[in-house]
Structure 1
Amino acid sequence: MRRLLALFLALFLSISTDSALALHTVEKRSAVAALASPGLLVMDQGEKRVLAENKPDSLRIPASVLKLLTAVVAIQNLGADTRFTTSVMKMAKEDEILIRGSKDPFLTTSRAIADKYGHKNLLSLLNKGNPNNLKRIKIFYEGLYPKDVYNLSVAMKNKRVKAKFIEVSSGQADEIGKDEIASITSAPLSKMIEHLTLWSDNLVADRLADAAARKAGNSTTGSGLTSTYKDVLAGLGIASEGLKVRDGSGLSKKNQVSARMVVELLMAIRKDSKFTSIYEGLPIAGETGTLVKRFEKTPDAIGNVRAKTGWVSNSVTLAGYVKSGEKEYAFAILADGIIPSLKYRNRARAAMDKLLEVVVKGDH
């Protein structure tokens, strides 16, 4: 009996010590100078137990981690199956063309980008509206982003076509447009989200934020974006006091988010199948997307971390999911006190990679 009791105590103490050591090691890793006291939270999703934290409610510059919020807001407001259509139409005169768009976030005038990422080629569509290759044309348009119009104008110059671009309202387009010549329809929003999270596409992120705000009836800058994001988070039961959103991409240093907001959002993503494209699109440590060259010195983490990267100026960030055995943790590391140089940003990234490897290897 004594031997059995001794064995039980030895086993209990061993497990307790290992678990405490693992927790201590994670928190120790979060306190390294390279991370400059980040906003940090690591949570067991199943038990909702905090594994490690450091100022999780402090507001930080999220950089491209903000794209996680943008993805959720876009799906919530627009729908994962939403597609965008752009048409070219005849007008009364042969040298006049009407383009009617729906502000497709995935439009491009680059064949290479269209072929590689599945974007729709606006230039190819326009060419169908000018079958006789006229060298002087007027292009009336509505529902295009200014960047798309600019890219088209450059493409026309490269083709030695003198094109005059004239923006019209939707009502005017109804009056001047005749028969549709051709149209293109985008991939579903869910595919855009996968692309967004895998490659951290800033243009697509800003356009999705714009579309989500317009759908909500809000302005597409400043307080309008913030209100749009806050409303979606509130609908998911996530407190967002202090949240500031100035763009959808995370490029603005005026964006403000806490690690807790991000982690609670990550847990909400895993609970609802409509957000599957966000999880599926996240880069995998050492294998895909923006994480393909990360974790080289922390091999145990390779394949066990799915996360969104980010950096802007003095902020280096990472947020997503890390697996340890049968468990999956949601985490956010927002280090916005980094000296703005490549050397210090790389040190911060290495520290994050090591911290997550500790989570992977720990006995929690």
Structure 2
Amino acid sequence: MAVVVVLVLLLAAGVLGSVARAGLYATGLYRDGGTPAVDPTVFHEASGRSTALPAQPSAPVLADASPEPGSRADAVASRIRDVGPVAGSTWGMVVDAATGETLFADRPDGDAIPASTLKVLTSLAALDIYGPDHRFDTKVLRDPADPAKLYLVGGGDPYLSKGPAGGPPARSSILDLAAATATALKDAGTPGDVEVVIDTSLFAGPGWNPDWIPVYRDYAAETSALWVDGARPRGAAIGPRDANPSQVAADAFTAELKRLGVGVSGTARGEAPADSAEVAKVSSMPVENIVELVLIYSDNDAAEVLFRHVGRAGDRSGSITDSQAAIRETLQRLGAWTEGMKIVDGSGLSRANLVSARSLTRAVELAIKEDGEKYRALATGMSVAGTEGTLAGRFVEDGTAAGRGLVRAKTGTLTNVHSLAGYVRSSDGSILVYAFLVNGEQEEYRTRVWLDRITATLSTCGCRG
């Protein structure tokens, strides 16, 4: 154990090179973003800085640019070839954002397992259907015919908290909902105890996706329209989830009601009658901020909630099946669907997902267009190489330094599956949109470094002449 700690500390201090880093990555002691296997605070004294992710997405590091069109496809392809090959199957595409011209294509319409880059498509669909300013409400309703019952109605707020509301971006709190409810009941002169009825009917069907394997229970909760703190009892991105997320939320709500002097006889489950009156509500942060958090932290749980919201479009039920149909319909309309694609979840956890490099580049193109304000959160939510989010610990090997602070991307990682999709400002001012996917490479670390080198070389591309 002492040897491992020394290796990790030396790595954090920049003493060890790629061999040690690759070895630690293989053992699970070195990871990209997310929740590290070793508490990042142990590096603080050794290196003088913490490697922990920022509490919230920071401001973009790129200055405004007005790129001129004209990047040459042969020059871009030459840069990519110079990086050299990687084992496994590859798919890729690079597009000049100013002209829409394809500058590089490696089976762009082929179908690959995307891992978490799928979150780009889930987020695109959610932004398209709801708009960036939409908020999801968690409500307390009351049936006029049975005033002794309060209906706690889940609105699909993925960041509802059982602690104090905070931000930015502002997270809503179930404690605030309880306080507003208690005030309303007292103002109405409600006598006696009330029963809290839990209503999670917003999303129909099972919460656990049948395409997920059991080990994913440490990576995603059973999706619910009502939970607190992402259904994570320990607050960690990787670890056990609440077995009954809506009950945990209801328990926090009733405990606060009791603390505020409201008598509660118990909890039950049901659906609020159609003519129920609103007692109180709290609203989520805007969808654009939810998307930013989903992307920068690769939040599986929140992505699955967005997926179910997509499944509510067109009077659908919000079930897994309806969500699969709705996301396909939406992406087809936006030109971000190619024949052969298959999307079964919102997070990219399932290996049954298949997407194309063209679909991912199309999504990013929509976000960075001058008139793409509706989808802009896709661009602002992407991690910055070597700086924040799931790219904070990357771009450290030879041939990658040029991309630090310039490459913006959503990462994707499963066993033998690695991907990057995003955009980069090259040295000649061009904005290049890209997607690269690798399936089947056994050397996990080598694959990640290859992706870092590919995108870093795009940042140095003076590819007009």
TM-score bin (small chain): 0.7 to 0.9
- Partner residue, 1:336: 439
In structure 2, the CA distance between the partners of 1:119 and 1:156, relative to structure 1 (3 Å rule), is closer
Deviations 1:212-261 (A, max 9, x none): 22123345456533332232223223442112111111111111101111
Residue among 352, 360, 364 paired with 1:266: 364
How many angstroms does 1:78 deviate by? Answer: 1.4
Q: Name the CA distance, whole Å, in 1 between partners of 2:150 and 2:175.
A: 13
Q: Name the CA distance, whole Å, in 2 between partners of 1:124 and 1:330.
A: 42
In structure 2, the CA distance between the partners of 1:62 and 1:241, relative to structure 1 (3 Å rule), is same
Q: Name the CA distance, whole Å, in 1 between partners of 2:103 and 2:269.
A: 57
Residues 73, 212 of structure 1: 8 Å contact kept: yes
How many angstroms does 1:73 deviate by? Answer: 0.6
Residue among 24, 32, 39 paired with 2:91: 39
Q: What's the secondary structure of 1:300's corresponding residue?
A: helix
Q: Name the CA distance, whole Å, in 1 between partners of 2:153 and 2:392.
A: 39
Residues 139, 155 of structure 2: 8 Å contact kept: no
Q: Name the CA distance, whole Å, in 2 between partners of 1:310 and 1:39.
A: 14
Residue 289 in 1 paired to residue 342 in 2?
Answer: no
In structure 2, the CA distance between the partners of 1:154 and 1:99, relative to structure 1 (3 Å rule), is closer
Identity across matched positions, percent: 28
Q: Give the CA RMSD over aligned residues.
A: 3.3
How many angstroms does 1:195 deviate by? Answer: 1.6
Residue 152 in 1 paired to residue 236 in 2?
Answer: no
Q: Name the CA distance, whole Å, in 2 between partners of 1:215 and 1:170.
A: 22
Q: What's the secondary structure of 2:384's corresponding residue?
A: coil
Deviations 1:247-295 (A, max 9, x none): 1111111111011111122222222221112111111111122212221
Superposition map of 1:303-318 within 5 A: 303-318=405-420
In structure 2, runs of 5+ residues without a counterpart are 1-71, 186-192, 203-223, 228-245, 259-263
- Hey, which bits of structure 1, 4+ residues long, moved more than 6 A? 91-95, 156-162
Q: Name the CA distance, whole Å, in 2 between partners of 1:283 and 1:162.
A: 47
In structure 1, runs of 5+ residues without a counterpart are 1-17
- Determine which structure has the larger strand proportion and give its number: 1
Residues 59, 256 of structure 1: 8 Å contact kept: yes
TM norm structure 2: 0.64
Deviations 1:7-65 (A, max 9, x none): xxxxxxxxxxx9957632403436222xx231111222224343333222211111111
How many angstroms does 1:347 deviate by? Answer: 1.9
Residues 314, 338 of structure 1: 8 Å contact kept: yes
Give the number of equivalent residue pairs. 335
Residues 226, 243 of structure 1: 8 Å contact kept: no
Residue 104 in 1 paired to residue 157 in 2?
Answer: yes
One-letter identity of the residue aligned with 2:199: E
Residue 257 in 1 paired to residue 355 in 2?
Answer: yes
How many angstroms does 1:124 deviate by? Answer: 4.1
Q: Name the CA distance, whole Å, in 2 between partners of 1:125 and 1:233.
A: 35
Residue among 417, 423, 430 paired with 1:321: 423
Residue among 369, 380, 391 paired with 1:280: 380
- Partner residue, 2:305: 207
- Partner residue, 2:328: 230
Residue 77 in 1 paired to residue 179 in 2?
Answer: no
How many angstroms does 1:318 deviate by? Answer: 0.8
Residues 313, 326 of structure 2: 8 Å contact kept: no
TM norm structure 1: 0.80
Residue 353 in 1 paired to residue 452 in 2?
Answer: yes
In structure 2, the CA distance between the partners of 1:239 and 1:166, relative to structure 1 (3 Å rule), is closer
Residues 27, 53 of structure 1: 8 Å contact kept: no
Residues 157, 226 of structure 2: 8 Å contact kept: no
Residue among 177, 187, 197 paired with 1:140: 197
Q: Name the CA distance, whole Å, in 2 between partners of 1:85 and 1:19.
A: 48
Q: Name the CA distance, whole Å, in 2 between partners of 1:334 and 1:220.
A: 30
